[in-house]
Structure 1
Amino acid sequence: MAAVQAEDEEQGVLGDSIGDRRGHTMSSVLGSPVEDGPDADQIIQECLSLNRPKSFFLYAGAGSGKTHSLVKAVSDLKTRERKRLTFEGRQIAIITYTNAACEEIARRLQHDPLVIVSTIHAFSWRMIQGFNDDIREWLRIKLAADIVGLDDKLGKARSENKTARANRASRDSKTRRIAALDEITSFTYSPTGDNRGRQALNHSEVIQMAAAFIQRSPLLDVMVDLHPVILIDESQDTNGALLDAFLMAQASTPNRFCLGLLGDTMQRIYNDGKERLEEAIPIDWAIPEKTMNRRCPRRVVELINAIRRGADDHQQIPKPDTIQGTVRMFCSQQVAGQDFRLEAKIAHRMLEITEDGQWAAGAEGRKTLILEHKMASRRMGFEGIFTPLYAAEHLRTGLLDGTLPVLRLFFENIMPILAASKINDFQLMEAVRLRSPLLDPKHMKEVPDQLALLERVGAATDALCSLFENNDPLITDVVQILIDTALLELPERLSVAQALGVTSDDPPDTPDRDALEIHAYQILLGRPFSEMAAYSGYTQGLSPFDTHQGVKGLEFPRVMVILNDEEAGGFLFSYEKLLGVKPPSDSDQKNQREGKDDALARTRRLLYVTCSRAEKSLAIVVYSAQPEVARQKVIDAGWLTPEEIEIF
């Protein structure tokens, strides 16, 4: 990419400014990284020694085969040391970011019991579980500090507005929780559950407690004794405080276990990840680096290298035998209420350019990456159920991962029954038998007339399925059948919402979670069932859409990246600023001067992640207030040539 003058603020967002502000890059901080190839894997293998452990940071850019190196190193270690690990009752620990990544790594390692693969939340809970007295005292101190902070905010509040009421409700809740602490003998937590009840810990508390506890005995000794090797995948996105705790634990016991960090600072996309991770790596660690991109074609590697030059000095090389590939940018005027037919037209244009028929094979022929889930909801037609549920903040985690009980009713119970009804009667009744409380063996034993019960279940099943004959029923109609027949068990709040009836009113002005949840369900009930089916496909990863953040680690032959700040409606990212259409804000410039993260740096990393998903061809769609300006800035920066950018 052409060099850009640092004093030119608008041009600097595309150019080599962040590395200059930092004053040093990964190479200068850590020494010369090891080149990609057998040496990187060999160095990791030498580090994974039970007798002479050496900690390391594997610097692995997009598509460099990081997971392959991790699996290979662990496979070789457990082959060499199986008898010793088994005799000592120890396990290699691998921590990664998502459940899907855990499952993939465990599968590649053949689910070997000598290796425990878990998310950071699951690992943290496993470390602190059972230390009930320590947990209780930590909560007592933390909750008391929170109450002092909330009292201070309430004292400064000028009126009893929504924020004040929420703060008051939070303070009262924390006060009740402190009062009940001594009554709790054992604390509980589920990495994937709702964690309701006085004894339940939330996700944030588990991470914070693990960060506090693993730096000191006895938990430090327990962790080191259990795990001679701890490998943290996607280390740049691991909670910063927790990663600091791991680094301090390693520094205090350098000869007792190997801490291996794997990742790429350019792919840090979550705000609680550790900033400037490269500067925290001890000087005596090994620093292997994988520089070959084994995923992307040459043209995409050139583009992501150009994007990256504004952040650090790390560059990748493509595989020698890779294809040239295709990159195009399409700039369009941002229009209020814009429909999405333009994206279909762009897909057909990519067909003409690449002669790849899959670009025009409907949305399923490509993976379209959007910044926010609500952008997918508009394109896939489930906005009517997504928006009200997302508005209730405490429902968001369960909404986005599909574990919300009301969603599980539809995803795991109703939809499989409907799918089975299209196969044959045997499959249908088997699907009902596995899900209906009426056919639970305990219930059936208590029923005097089992034949009548089976007839009742059959009639209920017919009533449910008949709703969908050439029809797209409202969700409220489906729920009413379940209430009338008791065919399936309903979440209590959904039943309450059904009794209250469908509404389109705004949410109530209250901090009461139950009231907000019930209101969201009242809106959901008025939506057609097809929206729920569409959302089911999206949460299962079966849709042609995904978020910029959600595809890290994944790859697709054809990728369309949507850059649309106005539709996304967020403030953490700004493609308009990154592309030079808008100048950096005063806050951005202040953060840059102080060496802190800012919207431009975050957006650059996100664009790097999305563009590096493409295996064959890449289309970048820019919705901008000034598409011509965006085009020229990208050309001036050397990211793309004039022939590669079209105004649509």
Structure 2
Amino acid sequence: MSAITEVVDEVKPTADEVIKACLNLEQPRSFFLYAGAGSGKTHSLVEAVKSLKGRERQRLTFEGRQIAIITYTNAACEEIERRLEHDPLVEVSTIHAFSWRMIKGFNDDIREWLRVKLAADIDELDDKLRRAQGENKTSRANRASRDSKARRLTSLDEITDFTYSPTGDNRSRQSLNHSEVIQMAAAFIPKPPLLDVMADRHPVLLIDESQDTYGPLMDTFLQAQAAIPERFCLGLLGDTMQRIYNDGKVGLDDAIPADWAKPEKRMNRRCPTRVVDLINVIRASVDGHHQIPKPGAARGTVRMFCTRQVPGQDFSLEEQIAKQMADVTGDVQWATGMQGRKTLILEHKMAGRRMGFEGVFTPLYAVEHLNTGLLDGTLPILKLFFEGVAPIVEAARADDFTVMEAVRLRSPLLDPKYLESAGTNQLEVLESVGKATQLLCEMLTDNDPLIGEVAQVLQRTGLLELPARFVEAMALGATADDAPEISDREALEIHAYRIVLGCSYSEMEAFAGYANGLSPFGTHQGVKGLEFPRVMVILNDEEAGGFLFSYEKLLGVTPASPTDVKNQRAGKDDSLSRTRRLLYVTCSRAEESLAIVIYSAQPEIAKASVIEAGWLKADEIVVL
């Protein structure tokens, strides 16, 4: 097929028509849509759903059924809901929210599943404790976990109604955690009655970013579709090359039944031709999928900068590289500082070092059970500052009415019930709120107090409600000591808060901007689906730490480990394949120009490997 024919096919794609035909309530046909980077996957999803709604609205409404869409993040849910005009005929949710909606109320099944799971976990921990050599941090953690599970097992019969929140901490006795909800859904959905419940509620289920859906749960959906193909349409949308989470199903494309439709969207409407060429070469050894740029796409620019890894080096080199990119591309925005580009890093802590919130982020991230709330902004201490303090201080820059309205919406002192209980002292309460607000705003105007100092004002005045464990940390005072070697979750959490108390408020402000997606930084994993004019990708294994990804291995600087070789021979995932996919995702974010910055033990070898692999030409690589 000629390039001209390919372009004509892409200008008049059949993929959207195929999907719309599959969404037929009388004769449903399941499908797997391959949608490469920048191909308009979300557009196809939305248009297909609009078409189905237009044809079947009356029937779906009469039967009380909904079209279900699962996507990976809350932000993606909101975007799809917006494009579908928040139609109640469509239920858009994350995988956790969907799973809970399916199993909620099946309390007896939940209880028995937990009984079996907890007993198995206790047996496994007992075995580890028997084999432990002496008392150490691991054995203490295992013993604490074993005792906690035993207490939970004993109390199961006392719980009549299990609860769960996709965005909450889920700490109460009757609460289920995130992984339990997903695992239960995977266990319950393939069999009646839940199989019938799902099909009756949702005759069509569309899964966006299907390659990153929890593997066992994806198997469950495939089993469900195979059991009732005449009643249930399963639509999977995604690109296996963009699988970046380890719990996604390996080899999803090979698991798709032969009778499914397999439409493709091959045109990359985002990237310039040079970037499309690059990501095609990066992908070439993985599968047969090949993208083409949109007609009239600009050439664009790609440069790779290789530098030697030096202990303790600062990040001024990245600014120098940005200025070089401005010269090469003629785009002066590259030279306007961090805000002029999107810098993609592997770990959040790397953004923390560059943006100045490492002191707040690191101790909280070190406490495992805080990770989810930390990264999605739902951790109570973050909500205190992100949703409590920050809006009040921002409102103070406007006028008195705006700031008092901000306080009214947030302060327990202005709660109608509290004011009613104050009786004749309401005026005094209002005056105290005004003084407290003024004190807080003055403290944070042209000043950078410690977080502990801000918290003391809040506690002393009662202006905002403080999380209980944060209050306990305040009572003990700030510390810079390392975390104790204990397994007590509450004690570790309180210790992390004590470290945060000694950090500057500006660190919390910087982290708020990062967590809300307003910073010039993003993680390699967190930008899937996004696009930016100017992209700088930072490859730095040593700074990132960890073992799941290795750019040094991918670039041939470091040999593959015996485990990598073993996994490759067995057809399993390994650090090289994971890293290749991550590089593909990051490079394919660029709309105009792309800079890849490699910190390497041997930059010359990295350069030679890239040239040999055909990724870039010699004149596109600079060794610094």
AA partner of residue 512 (structure 1) = D
Matched, 1:390 2:328: no
CA contact 1:35–1:288 (8 Å) conserved in 2: no
AA partner of residue 582 (structure 1) = T
Q: Look up the match of 1:133.
A: 108
How many Å apart are 1:38 and its aligned residue?
2.8
How many Å apart are 1:471 and its aligned residue?
1.5
Unaligned runs of 5+ in 1: 1-33
SS in 2 for 1:435: coil
SS in 2 for 1:38: coil
Q: Look up the match of 1:570.
A: 546
Q: Look up the match of 2:480.
A: 504
Q: Look up the match of 1:73.
A: 48
Q: Cα 1:583–1:36, aligned 2, differ >3 Å: closer, same or farther? A: farther
Q: Distance in 1 between matches of 2:97 and 2:434?
A: 41
How many Å apart are 1:430 and its aligned residue?
1.1
Q: Distance in 1 between matches of 2:445 and 2:91?
A: 47
TM-score (norm 2): 0.98
Q: Distance in 1 between matches of 2:11 and 2:203?
A: 26
Q: Distance in 2 between matches of 1:154 and 1:172?
A: 12
Matched, 1:175 2:145: no
Q: Distance in 2 between matches of 1:49 and 1:330?
A: 51
Matched, 1:614 2:586: no
Q: Look up the match of 1:270.
A: 245
Q: Distance in 1 between matches of 2:456 and 2:283?
A: 55
> CA offsets, 1:329-364, max 9 Å, x none?
000110001100000000000000001111112111
Q: Look up the match of 1:339.
A: 314
Q: Look up the match of 1:411.
A: 386
How many Å apart are 1:468 and its aligned residue?
2.1
Structure 2 counterparts to residues 90-489 of structure 1, below 5 A = 90-447=65-422, 448-489=424-465
> CA offsets, 1:506-551, max 9 Å, x none?
1111111110000001000000000000000000000000000000
How many Å apart are 1:469 and its aligned residue?
3.5
Q: Distance in 1 between matches of 2:415 and 2:328?
A: 58
Q: Look up the match of 1:27.
A: none
CA contact 1:36–1:290 (8 Å) conserved in 2: no
Q: Look up the match of 1:51.
A: 26
SS in 2 for 1:623: strand
Runs of 4+ in structure 1 deviating by more than 6 angstroms, as ranges, are: none
Structure 2 counterparts to residues 588-603 of structure 1, below 5 A = 588-603=564-579
Q: Distance in 2 between matches of 1:504 and 1:569?
A: 23
How many Å apart are 1:500 and its aligned residue?
0.5
AA partner of residue 609 (structure 1) = V
Q: Distance in 2 between matches of 1:193 and 1:357?
A: 44
AA partner of residue 630 (structure 1) = A
Structure 2 counterparts to residues 478-557 of structure 1, below 5 A = 478-557=454-533
CA contact 1:467–1:473 (8 Å) conserved in 2: yes
How many Å apart are 1:470 and its aligned residue?
2.8
Q: Distance in 2 between matches of 1:393 and 1:37?
A: 49
How many Å apart are 1:576 and its aligned residue?
0.4
CA contact 2:13–2:265 (8 Å) conserved in 1: no
How many Å apart are 1:36 and its aligned residue?
7.8
Q: Distance in 1 between matches of 2:441 and 2:239?
A: 50
AA partner of residue 394 (structure 1) = H
AA partner of residue 565 (structure 1) = D
AA partner of residue 479 (structure 1) = A
Q: Distance in 1 between matches of 2:299 and 2:560?
A: 34
Q: Look up the match of 1:624.
A: 600
CA contact 2:533–2:590 (8 Å) conserved in 1: yes
> CA offsets, 1:268-293, max 9 Å, x none?
00000000101110011111011110
How many Å apart are 1:309 and its aligned residue?
0.7
> CA offsets, 1:429-457, max 9 Å, x none?
11111111111110101112211111111
Query: In terms of mean alpha carbon deviation, does 230-239 or 459-468 score higher?
Result: 459-468
CA contact 2:213–2:249 (8 Å) conserved in 1: yes
SS in 1 for 2:14: helix
Query: In terms of mean alpha carbon deviation, does 350-359 or 452-461 score higher?
Result: 452-461
SS in 1 for 2:409: helix
CA contact 2:241–2:584 (8 Å) conserved in 1: yes
Q: Distance in 2 between matches of 1:430 and 1:114?
A: 35
Structure 2 counterparts to residues 22-61 of structure 1, below 5 A = 37-61=12-36
SS in 1 for 2:413: helix
CA contact 1:36–1:289 (8 Å) conserved in 2: no
CA contact 2:300–2:593 (8 Å) conserved in 1: yes
Q: Look up the match of 1:4.
A: none
> CA offsets, 1:124-174, max 9 Å, x none?
000000000000000000000000000000000011111001000101001
Q: Look up the match of 1:13.
A: none
SS in 1 for 2:139: helix
Q: Cα 1:299–1:153, aligned 2, differ >3 Å: closer, same or farther? A: same
Query: In terms of mean alpha carbon deviation, does 482-491 or 199-208 score higher?
Result: 482-491
Unaligned runs of 5+ in 2: 1-8
CA contact 2:451–2:501 (8 Å) conserved in 1: yes
AA partner of residue 578 (structure 1) = L
AA partner of residue 240 (structure 1) = G
TM-score (norm 1): 0.94
Q: Distance in 2 between matches of 1:602 and 1:515?
A: 35
Q: Look up the match of 1:604.
A: 580
SS in 2 for 1:449: helix
How many Å apart are 1:88 and its aligned residue?
1.0
Q: Look up the match of 2:5.
A: none
AA partner of residue 464 (structure 1) = L
Matched, 1:580 2:556: yes
CA contact 1:48–1:229 (8 Å) conserved in 2: yes
Q: Distance in 1 between matches of 2:593 and 2:268?
A: 15
> CA offsets, 1:581-613, max 9 Å, x none?
111111110100111100000000000000000
Q: Distance in 2 between matches of 1:280 and 1:143?
A: 31
Q: Distance in 1 between matches of 2:598 and 2:13?
A: 40
SS in 1 for 2:262: coil
SS in 2 for 1:52: coil
Q: Distance in 2 between matches of 1:239 and 1:539?
A: 24
AA partner of residue 607 (structure 1) = L
Q: Distance in 1 between matches of 2:538 and 2:19?
A: 38
AA partner of residue 611 (structure 2) = I
> Higher relative contact order at CA 8 Å, sep ≥6: structure 1 or structure 2?
1
CA contact 2:341–2:536 (8 Å) conserved in 1: yes
How many Å apart are 1:37 and its aligned residue?
4.2
Matched, 1:637 2:613: yes
CA contact 1:94–1:232 (8 Å) conserved in 2: yes
SS in 1 for 2:235: strand
Q: Distance in 2 between matches of 1:575 and 1:427?
A: 50
Query: In terms of mean alpha carbon deviation, does 229-238 or 358-367 score higher?
Result: 358-367
Q: Distance in 1 between matches of 2:173 and 2:525?
A: 33
Q: CA RMSD in A?
A: 0.9
Query: In terms of mean alpha carbon deviation, does 125-134 or 477-486 score higher?
Result: 477-486
